[in-house]
Amino acid sequence: MSRQVLRAACIAAVLLTAGPLPHARAEPVGVLLNRLQGLYQKAEEAAEAYNAAEVALKARQEEERRVTAELGRARTALGAEKATAGRLAREQYQGARGFSPYVRMLLADDPQSALDQRRLAAREGARQAGVLARMTEGAHKADALATAARKALDDQRALAGEMERRKDEVGGQLKEVERMLAALTPEEVSQLGAQEAKNTAGAQRALLESGRLGTARTPTAAGGEALTYATAQLGKPYVWGAEGPGSFDCSGLTSQAWAHAGRSIPRTSQEQWARLPKVPLDQLRPGDLVVYFPKATHVALYIGEGKVIQAPRPGAKVKVSPIAANPLLGAVRPDADATPLETFTPPPLPEEEAGTAGDDTGYSEAEAPDTSAR
């Protein structure tokens, strides 16, 4: 029985000792399991949407800081040009240089002096015109940057509101899960655990027997480092929106594993699926990312031999699972341009993870999409 199911059993047992709960359920265990896993999947979708909003917010915050800094520099430059223009105006008004170049040209004693004074007058006029042009350009630039800064700030506020909405959505989905678990009898909890393990074992057996995973391969140097990092996180709790070091959600684990391997990849499972190179299942090598569900709302890191490391779902911990623990969408490779190692010794797994019964699935659907052509 999985940790999640054990937790549910404890909740149910405590509530039952406190008094009887209304219980008029007659659904088969399969229906209960589908309902529960459907709630988990909705929570994961909302969590990944929250992660996407968080990434966008960070980008907007960085843009706002950049624009604000550039605005400061533009205003400083504009102030300097204004000071220069003021100095020139005072010099001309106070006669700090005697007669202006124009007057000196008219009073010249000979043609050469007149030509010299004309050049001086032209130079002075060009300097003043240049100061005025730079002032005008600086003023326009400062206005444009001020407008951009206000827009960046407005976008930042809107995204912060979107994050709060997504956060509330996740919280609501998880509360619904807790309400459903609390209403189950110990017998139903036990049946759910058994049914979940049976479904996973059947899906895994069918996948392995189909030969779609191909032969064993070695990772690249970066893939090996990502795998080593992910292995070190085994046993840490799933927390939606978390990306370490003490807890993770599914894409937080995969993005951090590859970040520690020196490769920056997108934060969310949807973006990992959309932006990283696709790889067929029969070409999988350790370190590749396995993506699940039609909307790409779950992701795990392949370790070889038909197993993945994943942060499964709320209430569970980072663990080793069968690759077929969830409906497969496909796989992606963060370092498609790298060459695999000739030899590789995988990091040792804790004894309790080496066999992996695979009863800690993330979610479930009736059938996985056909990925044989991916």
Query: For 144-151, what is the mean pLDDT?
Result: 70
Residue of 16 and 274 predicted with greater confidence: 274
Q: Are residues 284 and 330 in the same domain?
A: yes
Q: What are phi and psi of 304, to 5 degrees?
A: 105, 165
Band (pLDDT 50/70/90 cuts) for residue 130 is low
The pLDDT value given to residue 193: 77
Q: What are phi and psi of 248, to 5 degrees?
A: -145, 155
Per DSSP, the residues of 306-360 read TEEEE--STT-BSEEEEGGGS-EEEEE-TTTTSPPPS---PPPPPHHHHS-----
Band (pLDDT 50/70/90 cuts) for residue 290 is very high
Q: What are phi and psi of 330, to 5 degrees?
A: 165, -160
pLDDT for 338-367, tens place per residue?
A: 999 999 998 988 866 654 544 455 433 333
The pLDDT value given to residue 267: 92
98: left (phi over 0), alpha (psi -120 to 50) or beta: left
Q: Of the ranges 19-23, 119-123, 202-206, which one carries the lowest mean pLDDT score?
A: 19-23
Would residue 143 count as lying in a domain?
yes
The pLDDT value given to residue 247: 96
Query: For 262-267, what is the mean pLDDT?
Result: 94
Do 30 and 161 form a contact (C-beta atoms < 8 A)? Answer: no
The pLDDT value given to residue 221: 96
| H or E segment to which residue 278 belongs | strand 278-279
Predicted confidence (pLDDT) at residue 148 exceeds the cutoff of 80: no
Per DSSP, the residues of 125-191 read HHHHHHHHHHHHHHHHHHHHHHHHHHHHHHHHHHHHHHHHHHHHHHHHHHHHHHHHHHTS-HHHHHH
Query: What one-letter code names the amino acid at 281?
Result: L
SS3 290: strand
Q: Are residues 229 and 313 in the same domain?
A: yes
Per DSSP, the residues of 15-82 read HHHH-PPP------HHHHHHHHHHHHHHHHHHHHHHHHHHHHHHHHHHHHHHHHHHHHHHHHHHHHHH
Q: Are residues 239 and 166 in the same domain?
A: no
The pLDDT value given to residue 341: 95
Residue of 250 and 51 predicted with greater confidence: 250
Q: pTM score > 0.85 for this model?
A: no
Predicted confidence (pLDDT) at residue 8 exceeds the cutoff of 50: no
Would residue 365 count as lying in a domain?
no
Q: Can you say whether the dihedral through the CA atoms of 53, 59, 65, 71 is positive or negative?
A: negative
Q: Are residues 170 and 278 in the same domain?
A: no
pLDDT for 213-259, tens place per residue?
A: 888 899 999 999 999 999 999 999 998 889 999 999 999 999 999 99
Residue 366 CA to residue 30 CA, distance in Å, equals 10
Do 80 and 134 form a contact (C-beta atoms < 8 A)? Answer: no
Would residue 249 count as lying in a domain?
yes
Would residue 257 count as lying in a domain?
yes
Q: Are residues 33 and 78 in the same domain?
A: yes
User: What CATH number does the domain containing 97 carry?
Assistant: 1.10.287.1490
For the chain, what percent of residues have pLDDT higher than 90?
29
Buried b vs exposed e over 161-178: b needs ≥16 C-beta within 10 Å? ebbeebbebbeebbeebe
Predicted confidence (pLDDT) at residue 28 exceeds the cutoff of 50: yes
Predicted confidence (pLDDT) at residue 372 exceeds the cutoff of 70: no
Name residue 309's beta-bridge partners.
301, 320
Would residue 369 count as lying in a domain?
no
Please count the residues of the chain.
Answer: 374
Q: Are residues 154 and 236 in the same domain?
A: no
Q: Are residues 219 and 156 in the same domain?
A: no
Predicted confidence (pLDDT) at residue 145 exceeds the cutoff of 50: yes
Q: Are residues 111 and 53 in the same domain?
A: yes
Residue 364 CA to residue 204 CA, distance in Å, equals 13
DSSP code at position 281: G
Q: Are residues 145 and 218 in the same domain?
A: no
Residue 163 CA to residue 47 CA, distance in Å, equals 10
| H or E segment to which residue 115 belongs | helix 111-182
- Does a cis peptide bond (omega within 30 degrees of 0) precede residue 245? yes
User: What CATH number does the domain containing 312 carry?
Assistant: 3.90.1720.10
Q: Of the ranges 1-5, 45-49, 115-119, 299-303, which one carries the lowest mean pLDDT score?
A: 1-5
Q: Are residues 51 and 169 in the same domain?
A: yes
Q: What is the residue-averaged pLDDT of the chain?
A: 74
The pLDDT value given to residue 165: 76
Would residue 135 count as lying in a domain?
yes
Q: How many domains does the chain have?
A: 2
Give the residue from 234, 240, 176 showing the smallest Cα distance to 37. Answer: 176
Would residue 82 count as lying in a domain?
yes
Q: Are residues 142 and 281 in the same domain?
A: no
Predicted confidence (pLDDT) at residue 285 exceeds the cutoff of 90: yes
pLDDT for 74-123, tens place per residue?
A: 667 666 666 666 665 665 555 544 555 555 555 555 555 555 555 655 56
Would residue 318 count as lying in a domain?
yes
Q: Please give the residue range of the domain that contains residue 84.
A: 29-179
Query: What one-letter code names the amino acid at 367?
Result: E
Do 10 and 170 form a contact (C-beta atoms < 8 A)? Answer: no
Per DSSP, the residues of 236-266 read PBB-TT-BSSS-B-HHHHHHHHHHHTT----
Q: Are residues 169 and 240 in the same domain?
A: no
Of 125, 154, 179, which closes a domain?
179
